[in-house]
């Protein structure tokens, strides 16, 4: 033991004793940047080393703990101790004491640069998943040197890698401002007056360093551009550039190189002088951008004596087209030729001109930010997977191809994103034999995994694919997570080598497939055997053949996307209240994890939130069941997934009937009205001995709950469970939980289908008219599009859909025929964009477009519907009349409009006046309700598609309706009364030449609302009735009879049956002589029908109104009962119309000819 070690021993023991309690428990990578310059005396240098060893000991150096490294700097900088060199405090201490005192200048910049390159760059040896700390020690300031690098920039390189820098200055010569530039923050600047004070700083530094452990390591940002490029600087070294400016050129190149992270693990660079042409050919890397910066202060020499001068366009094209190099031309000074630089550059944007070097770097900065454009990017997959690469390292692969194979693996790993909590990656290398080089838990970042792949040896040898599969089965996938999707990607350039112990590839890959691993086989080059690779995989599409690794990159994107789609469900646009009912025991812990992943997939599809879909959890085990979460428990999908993850596995199974009963009694009563209610019930065949649970399932169905049964195992029999589900698709049977996990996306799709409204039974051609102006924001517009997609999907094969958008102008987005391909239709709807610059809304133009261009192409057998989504604008103002005219023209063309008014600002009365039926206007609270209340809306739209019944009464009749508009009726019952009147009118069919109708409205007064001549069709009559308002006041029916006699009856036709239909809600006011008034009307040849409704009806009063109390009186306790009896009422009225001796019943078609014989003055 040397003298330094002896001197160190005395002070270290008590310090270590004190530091045990302060030791940092978490792992860390700690680097010491130690000043070894000549300004430090030998005595003080020993004190520095003692301090480093003491501080390092507090970090628990061990094989599974912290690691330490040392960079020594003076005139130069070297990594004296690397992270992997020592695994104990004692061995590290001995090594520190042996560090040489180099004596020299103080080049802090080189120390920071060396620490970055060797330790913290992407290919450095520091770990990415532990805190990282740098302690910089110096006794002075940075030595002034024209070649010195910027301390701020060098420190920034390290800090950008999420490394904390603590700067320690000793003595009076240090520059505090310089230390603050280097350190992470002001608190990380520590100063000591003399070297003897250093040991007093150990405990505070340890505590301060440990604080960084409380800060989580940031996740890698997949969207952030970290240029990893091969960069060439083509530098003008001609005589036209002065020595001073040439130095500035070199400084500029050095600064620009820093931007590209030129390092062993990052970008690579070459500098080429013009007179050297391009120097020796380098070996550009696979899958990284290639960039050439051309710097010049003049133009191309035009001396014809220069030998082998190549035209600029030819020379640059060789780089741009053949080698795929992006050329950026930089011209400095007034002598440059912009036209020449444009010819050289890859685009006009890649030309930079500057008068001087001042600010040139800032001019180039935007181009640097686009450097990642050359990266080959595979599709990003957010699916959580465990993927193992089974990689060919045999001798049939050339060195160049092997480098490309490793670059390909890195690109695939990046597409999945490697991290602790998301996707993980492992790797098996095979040649003569096979071995696991990377296990699933070895790397928690893509960068560290990629670095490990880069260092894989090229083993060379035979091609034993079978051994690679066996090692993956035996060593890798047993450590895969049970609840995530598992992928094995086999990569080879040749056929399996046949030897005495070679095994059949189908047999050795079978255990992987049975374990639920999706095996993918990638063959590169002409030496592969496609049939052999097919033996490894389950499906034809899991084999991918490519001519080269470049070709493989072009092809593998689709494979990754399809693999990713196996685990990522399509969003379900419709809202639902979901209850998951399953056993938390008795199925095996691995299967329990798989089941929870499947349920998470379903929840992800619906998107759990308090405003959209909600979810609850009911589990059973032992002899009990419990509601683990109610509908109100979660505000996000993540909260739901976290709750599922926290559920513990129970060993015993329990009874499912207890859980179902709990869901029926406690959970679904709290579900929202008018929202789909779905129970996802997981069974495993052990329920067959208990029929009680099936009775509860049927009871849930009767209560309006859609039951989705997930049956797992061979004991599940479809024929015995079919009666428990509404549709065959609602019973999903899987062989095992492994296959259930593989099919989870399809299960989620089925669950979404269960939430969709049922198909409409009536054929219809529907135009969806949606607002694309600035009225609605992007989120609201997306909800409107989701509404259209749900409606188009749910209405079934009887329906065709089209889409028209409107703002200042209207636009036809989809025709009826487009909806025949529903996938195409849905994709186009999703791609429709808002017109954010348009404020005005011309709904009238959209209605006219639909009426004139689209709906004439509707099928003869289909109802013509226009579903209009609006916030209610344009009912007033300069375009209000055009809107009314557009709706009227549409109605006359046989189009029925259903208006969905979104928001509370619209005028309901104005909008109700635009549609013929009150029920065709629906006020929606907000855009979210379009999908939340989709069942209600779909029901109304479907009802609008119901064919209008042909008149059932063949007698031409003049009908007078006396409608009760008093305050005894109320608005809701008045609407029902209008519905009854419309129904009776429909049974006769209203027109000028057949039956006609007049309406008298009475309360405390009476007046004619419609005369016989006011309605030319049943549609006109219906529209007018819907517009009629409630008057209120006491009922004065006698006045209504008087108005009928004096105002309406004179307009009736001679020789035509005349019938008065009276609707009354109770006793009339005293003094109102109803008997005398009705008697006068009957004597004038009018038959009176009395429709009494309510519990206050005076039957004796009704008898006085009519001629035949048995045939002419209908009573009911409620308007609902009266409406239900509308068919019977219409038939009775029709019979009375046929009892007139002057007419006999005849076919409907002959009514007009019969009426033609009546003199005009009698009509």
Instruction: Domain count for the chain, please give it.
Output: 6
Indicate the pairing of strand 614-621 with strand 624-629. antiparallel
Indicate the pairing of strand 576-583 with strand 676-683. parallel
1033 and 1122 share one domain: yes
Q: Is the dihedral of CA 114, 116, 118, 123 positive or negative?
A: negative
Task: Measure the CA–CA gap between 67 and 82, rounded to whole angstroms.
Answer: 9
Whether 204 maps to a domain, the answer reads: yes
Task: Measure the CA–CA gap between 597 and 740, rounded to whole angstroms.
Answer: 10
Q: What is the pLDDT of residues 35-89, one digit of tens each?
A: 999 999 999 899 899 989 888 888 888 887 889 999 999 999 999 999 989 989 8
Q: How confident is the model at residue 279 (pLDDT cuts 50, 70, 90)?
A: very low
Whether 803 maps to a domain, the answer reads: yes
1115 and 1085 share one domain: yes
665: exposed, middle or buried (Cβ count in 10 Å: 0-12, 13-18, 19+): exposed
For 74-86, what is the HEC assignment?
CCCEEEEECCCCC
Tell me which of 372, 397, 415 is where a domain ends.
372
Using the predicted structure, report yes or no on whether residue 1017 has a pLDDT greater than 90.
no
482 and 602 share one domain: no
- Is the Cβ–Cβ distance between 447 and 121 less than 8 Å? no
Helix H or strand E encompassing 425: strand 424-430
431 and 520 share one domain: yes
Whether 24 maps to a domain, the answer reads: no
330: exposed, middle or buried (Cβ count in 10 Å: 0-12, 13-18, 19+): buried
Q: What is the pLDDT of residues 79-136, one digit of tens each?
A: 999 998 998 989 999 999 999 999 999 999 999 999 998 898 866 788 776 788 999 9
Task: Measure the CA–CA gap between 1138 and 806, rounded to whole angstroms.
Answer: 51
- Is the Cβ–Cβ distance between 699 and 731 less than 8 Å? no
Cα separations in angstroms, 379 against 336, 552, 559, 828: 42, 14, 10, 22
737 and 793 share one domain: no
Query: What was the pLDDT predicted at 488?
Result: 94
- Region 847-862 average pLDDT: 89
Query: What was the pLDDT predicted at 400?
Result: 84
- Is the Cβ–Cβ distance between 415 and 378 less than 8 Å? yes
Tell me which of 565, 591, 621 is where a domain ends.
565
271 and 394 share one domain: no
Query: What was the pLDDT predicted at 283?
Result: 55
973 and 1104 share one domain: yes
Tell me which of 513, 544, 565 is where a domain ends.
565
Q: What is the pLDDT of residues 592-651, one digit of tens each?
A: 999 999 999 999 999 999 888 999 999 998 878 999 999 999 999 999 999 999 999 988
Query: What was the pLDDT predicted at 772?
Result: 87
Q: Of 289-298, 882-891, 999-1008, which one has max mean pLDDT?
A: 999-1008
Question: Rounded to 5 degrees, what are φ and ψ at 927?
Answer: -65, -35
| Helix (H) and strand (E) counts in the chain | 39, 35
Task: Measure the CA–CA gap between 1127 and 104, rounded to whole angstroms.
Answer: 110
Pick the closest to residue 726 from 748, 755, 689, 749 (CA basis). Answer: 755
Using the predicted structure, report yes or no on whether residue 965 has a pLDDT greater than 80.
yes
Whether 3 maps to a domain, the answer reads: no
Q: Map residue 221 onto helix, strand or coil.
A: coil
Q: Map residue 818 onto helix, strand or coil.
A: helix
Using the predicted structure, report yes or no on whether residue 880 has a pLDDT greater than 90.
no
Cα separations in angstroms, 759 against 69, 365, 1081: 70, 58, 50
Q: How confident is the model at residue 174 (pLDDT cuts 50, 70, 90)?
A: confident
Q: Of 297-306, 446-455, 777-786, 1105-1114, which one has max mean pLDDT?
A: 777-786
1004 and 922 share one domain: no
Number of neighbours of residue 200 by Cβ within 10 angstroms: 11
Of residues 757 and 1045, more confidence is placed in 1045
Q: What is the pLDDT of residues 1024-1036, one digit of tens each?
A: 887 787 777 788 8
Using the predicted structure, report yes or no on whether residue 465 has a pLDDT greater than 60.
yes
551 and 605 share one domain: no
Task: Measure the CA–CA gap between 103 and 270, rounded to whole angstroms.
Answer: 33
Q: What's the whole-model pTM score?
A: 0.54
Whether 1154 maps to a domain, the answer reads: no
Task: Measure the CA–CA gap between 1143 and 1055, rounded to whole angstroms.
Answer: 9
Q: What is the pLDDT of residues 351-396, one digit of tens each?
A: 888 877 666 666 666 666 565 555 555 667 777 889 999 999 999 9
1113 and 1059 share one domain: yes
Q: Which residues pair with 190 in a beta bridge?
A: 168
Q: Map residue 982 onto helix, strand or coil.
A: helix
Using the predicted structure, report yes or no on whether residue 409 has a pLDDT greater than 60.
yes
Helix H or strand E encompassing 980: helix 971-988
614 and 494 share one domain: no
Task: Measure the CA–CA gap between 266 and 231, rounded to whole angstroms.
Answer: 11
953: exposed, middle or buried (Cβ count in 10 Å: 0-12, 13-18, 19+): buried
Task: Measure the CA–CA gap between 978 and 970, rounded to whole angstroms.
Answer: 12
Q: Map residue 625 onto helix, strand or coil.
A: strand
Whether 223 maps to a domain, the answer reads: no
Whichever domain contains 1008, its CATH number is 3.40.50.410
Domain carrying residue 675: 576-755
Task: Measure the CA–CA gap between 135 and 33, rounded to whole angstroms.
Answer: 6
Pick the closest to residue 877 from 912, 844, 847 (CA basis). Answer: 844
609 and 750 share one domain: yes
The 8-class DSSP code of residue 728 comes to G
Query: What was the pLDDT predicted at 30?
Result: 93
Whether 1160 maps to a domain, the answer reads: no
Q: How confident is the model at residue 208 (pLDDT cuts 50, 70, 90)?
A: low
Q: How confident is the model at residue 996 (pLDDT cuts 50, 70, 90)?
A: very high
Ranges of beta strands (E only) in 131-284 are 132-138, 163-170, 189-192, 230-235, 268-273
Whether 413 maps to a domain, the answer reads: yes
Question: Rounded to 5 degrees, what are φ and ψ at 1091?
Answer: -110, 105
- Is the Cβ–Cβ distance between 453 and 409 less than 8 Å? yes
Number of neighbours of residue 913 by Cβ within 10 angstroms: 17
Which residues, at least 6 apart from 470, have a Cβ–Cβ distance to it below 8 Å? 434, 503, 508
Task: Measure the CA–CA gap between 577 and 571, rounded to whole angstroms.
Answer: 16
- Region 567-586 average pLDDT: 88
Q: In what order do the strands lie in the sheet with 351-354?
A: 268-273, 230-235, 290-296, 326-332, 351-354
Pick the closest to residue 557 from 412, 424, 407, 422 (CA basis). Answer: 412
Task: Round the average pLDDT of the chain to a whole number and report it.
Answer: 81
Task: Measure the CA–CA gap between 179 and 202, rounded to whole angstroms.
Answer: 19
Cα separations in angstroms, 72 against 100, 472, 489, 538, 1022: 9, 43, 44, 57, 95
Q: Is the dihedral of CA 681, 684, 685, 687 positive or negative?
A: negative
Pick the closest to residue 999 from 972, 1035, 1026 (CA basis). Answer: 1026
Using the predicted structure, report yes or no on whether residue 933 has a pLDDT greater than 60.
yes
- Region 215-236 average pLDDT: 55
Q: How confident is the model at residue 17 (pLDDT cuts 50, 70, 90)?
A: very low
- Is the Cβ–Cβ distance between 712 and 719 less than 8 Å? no
Using the predicted structure, report yes or no on whether residue 11 has a pLDDT greater than 50.
no
Q: In 420-456, which positions are buried (b, 16+ CB within 10 angstroms) versus exposed (e)? A: eeebbbbbbbbbbebebbbbbeebbbbbbbbbbbbeb
Question: Rounded to 5 degrees, what are φ and ψ at 1089?
Answer: -110, 135
Task: Measure the CA–CA gap between 27 and 254, rounded to whole angstroms.
Answer: 36
Which residues, at least 6 apart from 177, have a Cβ–Cβ distance to it below 8 Å? none
Q: How confident is the model at residue 1045 (pLDDT cuts 50, 70, 90)?
A: very high
Q: What is the pLDDT of residues 634-661, one digit of tens each?
A: 999 999 999 999 999 988 888 899 999 9
């Amino acid at each position: 033991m040397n003298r330094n070690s002896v001197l160190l021993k005395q002070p270290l023991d008590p310090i270590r004793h004190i530091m045990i309690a302060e030791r940092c428990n978490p792992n860390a990578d700690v680097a010491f940047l130690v000043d070894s310059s000549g300004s430090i005396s030998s005595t003080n240098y020993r004190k520095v080393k003692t301090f480093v060893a003491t501080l390092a000991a507090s970090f628990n150096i061990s094989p599974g703990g912290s690691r330490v490294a040392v960079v020594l700097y003076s005139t130069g900088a070297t990594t004296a101790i690397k992270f992997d060199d020592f695994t104990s405090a004692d061995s590290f201490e001995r090594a520190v004491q042996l560090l040489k005192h180099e004596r020299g200048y103080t080049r802090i910049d080189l120390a920071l640069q060396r620490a970055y390159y060797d330790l913290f760059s992407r290919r450095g040896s520091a770990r990415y998943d532990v805190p990282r700390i740098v302690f910089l020690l110096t006794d002075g300031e940075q030595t002034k040197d024209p070649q010195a690098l910027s301390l701020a920039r060098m420190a920034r390189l390290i800090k950008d890698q999420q490394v904390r820098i603590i700067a320690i200055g000793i003595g009076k010569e240090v520059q505090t401002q310089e230390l603050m530039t280097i350190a992470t923050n002001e608190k990380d600047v520590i100063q000591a007056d003399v070297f003897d004070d250093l040991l007093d700083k150990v405990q505070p530094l340890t505590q301060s360093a440990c604080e960084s452990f409380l800060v989580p390591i940031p996740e890698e940002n997949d969207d952030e551009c970290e240029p990893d490029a091969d960069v060439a600087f083509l530098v003008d070294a001609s005589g036209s550039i002065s020595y001073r400016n040439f130095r500035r050129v070199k400084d500029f190149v050095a600064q620009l190189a820093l931007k590209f992270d030129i390092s062993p693990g990052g970008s690579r660079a070459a500098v080429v002088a013009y007179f050297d042409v391009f120097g020796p050919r380098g070996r550009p890397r696979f899958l990284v951008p290639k960039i050439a910066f051309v710097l010049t202060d003049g133009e191309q020499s035009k001396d014809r004596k220069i030998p082998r001068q190549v035209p600029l366009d030819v020379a640059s094209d060789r780089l741009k087209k053949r080698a795929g190099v992006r050329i950026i031309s930089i011209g400095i000074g007034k002598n440059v030729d912009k036209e020449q630089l444009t010819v050289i550059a890859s685009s006009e944007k890649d030309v930079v001109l500057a008068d001087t070097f001042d600010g040139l770097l800032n001019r180039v900065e935007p181009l640097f930010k686009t450097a990642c454009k050359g990266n080959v990017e595979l599709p990003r997959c957010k699916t959580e997977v465990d993927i193992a690469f089974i990689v060919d390292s045999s001798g049939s692969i050339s060195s160049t191809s092997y480098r490309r194979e490793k670059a390909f693996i890195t690109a695939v790993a990046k597409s999945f994103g490697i991290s602790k909590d998301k996707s993980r990656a492992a790797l098996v290398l095979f040649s003569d034999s096979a071995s696991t080089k990377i296990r699933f838990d070895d790397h928690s970042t893509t960068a560290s995994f990629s670095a490990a792949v880069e260092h894989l040896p090229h083993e060379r040898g035979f091609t034993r694919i079978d051994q690679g599969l066996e090692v993956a089965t035996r060593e890798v996938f047993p450590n895969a997570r049970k609840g995530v999707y598992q992928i094995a990607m086999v990569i080879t350039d040749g056929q399996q080598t046949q030897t005495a112990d070679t095994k059949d590839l189908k047999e050795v890959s079978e255990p992987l497939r049975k374990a639920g691993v999706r095996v993918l086989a990638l063959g590169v080059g002409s030496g592969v055997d496609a049939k052999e690779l097919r033996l490894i995989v389950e499906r034809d599409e899991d084999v991918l053949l490519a001519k080269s690794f470049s070709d493989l990159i072009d092809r593998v994107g689709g494979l990754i996307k399809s693999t990713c789609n196996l685990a990522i469900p399509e969003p379900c646009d419709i809202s639902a209240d979901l209850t998951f009912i399953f056993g938390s025991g008795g199925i095996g812990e691995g299967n329990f994890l798989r089941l929870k992943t499947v349920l998470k997939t379903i929840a992800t599809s619906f998107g759990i939130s308090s405003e959209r879909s909600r979810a609850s959890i009911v589990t059973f085990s032992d002899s009990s069941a419990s509601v683990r979460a109610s509908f109100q428990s979660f505000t996000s999908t993540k909260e739901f997934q976290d709750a599922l993850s926290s559920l513990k596995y129970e060993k015993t199974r329990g009874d499912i009937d207890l859980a179902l009963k709990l869901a029926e009694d406690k959970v679904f009563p709290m579900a929202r009205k008018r929202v789909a209610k779905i129970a996802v019930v997981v069974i495993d065949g052990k329920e067959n001995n208990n029929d009680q649970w099936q009775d509860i399932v049927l009871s849930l169905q009767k209560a309006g709950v859609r039951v989705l049964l997930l049956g797992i195992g061979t004991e599940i029999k479809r024929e015995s469970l079919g009666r428990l589900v509404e549709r065959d698709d609602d019973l999903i049977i899987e062989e095992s939980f492994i296959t259930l996990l593989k099919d989870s996306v399809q299960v989620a799709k089925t669950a979404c289908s269960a939430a969709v409204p049922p198909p409409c039974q009536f054929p219809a051609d529907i135009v969806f008219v949606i607002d694309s102006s600035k009225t609605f924001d992007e989120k609201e517009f997306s909800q409107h599009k989701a509404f259209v997609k749900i409606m188009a999907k749910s209405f079934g094969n009887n329906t065709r859909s089209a889409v028209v958008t409107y703002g200042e102008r209207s636009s036809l987005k989809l025709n009826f025929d487009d909806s025949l391909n529903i996938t195409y239709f849905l994709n186009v709807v999703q791609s429709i964009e808002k017109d954010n610059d348009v404020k005005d809304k011309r709904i009238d133009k959209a209605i006219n477009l639909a009426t004139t261009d689209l709906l004439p192409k509707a099928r003869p057998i289909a109802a013509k519907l226009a579903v209009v989504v609006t916030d209610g604008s344009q009912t007033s103002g300069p375009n209000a009349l055009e809107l009314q005219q557009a709706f009227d023209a549409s109605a006359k063309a046989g189009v029925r409009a259903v208006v969905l008014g979104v928001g509370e600002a619209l005028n309901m009365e104005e909008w109700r006046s635009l549609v013929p039926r009150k029920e065709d206007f629906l006020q929606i609270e907000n855009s979210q309700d379009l999908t939340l209340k989709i069942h209600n809306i779909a029901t109304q739209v479907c009802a609008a598609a119901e064919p209008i019944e042909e008149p059932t009464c063949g007698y031409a009749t003049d009908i007078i309706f006396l409608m009760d508009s008093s305050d005894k009726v109320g608005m809701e019952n008045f609407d029902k009364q209008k519905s009854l009147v419309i129904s009776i009118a429909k049974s006769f069919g209203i027109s000028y030449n057949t039956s006609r109708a007049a309406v008298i409205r009475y309360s405390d007064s009476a007046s004619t609302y419609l005369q016989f001549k006011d309605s030319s069709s049943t549609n006109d009559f219906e529209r007018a009735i819907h517009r009629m308002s409630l008057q209120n006041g006491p009922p004065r029916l006698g006045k209504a009879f008087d108005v009928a006699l004096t105002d309406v009856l004179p307009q009736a036709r001679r020789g035509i049956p005349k019938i008065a239909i009276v609707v009354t809600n109770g006793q009339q006011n005293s003094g109102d002589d109803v008997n005398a008034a009705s008697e006068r009307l009957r004597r004038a040849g009018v038959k009176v029908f009395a429709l009494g409704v309510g519990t206050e009806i005076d039957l004796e009063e009704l008898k006085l109104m009519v001629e035949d109390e048995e045939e002419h009186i209908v009573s009911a306790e409620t308007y609902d009962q009266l409406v239900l009896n509308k068919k019977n009422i219409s038939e009775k009225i029709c019979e009375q119309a046929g009892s007139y001796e002057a007419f006999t019943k005849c076919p409907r078609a002959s009514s007009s000819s019969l009426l033609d014989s009546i003199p005009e003055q009698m009509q």
